Amino acid sequence: MPQSEEDAVKKVDKHVEPKECFIWHMDNKKGYEPIPGTGCAHWVAHKKKWNGGKPGANGCNKNFLIRVKDVKSKAGSEVEPADVQVGNVWVNKDGSHCGLVSKVSPSKDPKKDPNPAIEIEHCSSGQGKVAKNDWASHFKGEGTFHKG
């Protein structure tokens, strides 16, 4: 008997948000399965309402993008850390993880460090949830920011 949508959703990893569409219809024999991989790009795509994906390829069951490379492409031009704004998209240096800038605070010592304090909200498999982390310490100040 093919697996139902409801049963597939129950198998989606605990850190992935939203869970209800991070599934694909495999075929009539298998039914639905959770999408392999992590949900960071999926979460960003839902927040940004980027639903240009195709289920079974680069989109979830509701057509939202699921691949970091597609989210990065959709986010557009790069932004320097000194010019980052809330809502910009962050992508790690190897292109395997992404999130959204959720808070920007001015540098405490602009002469020493011109970059503001930047908080990244992201769907974290390592933390098992949607988390907020400091870009400079948690992500070691690495990666790129995109307009979004």
Residue 82 Cα to chain centre, angstroms: 22
CB of 44 within 8 A of CB of 58?
no
pLDDT by residue (tens digit) across 57-107? 999 999 999 999 999 999 999 999 999 999 999 999 999 999 999 999 998
| CA atoms of 139 and 94, how far apart (whole Å) | 12
DSSP one-letter string for 5-57: HHHHHHTS-TT-SS-TTSEEEEETTTEEEEPSS-SHHHHHHHHHT-----BTT
pLDDT by residue (tens digit) across 39-61? 999 999 999 999 999 998 999 99
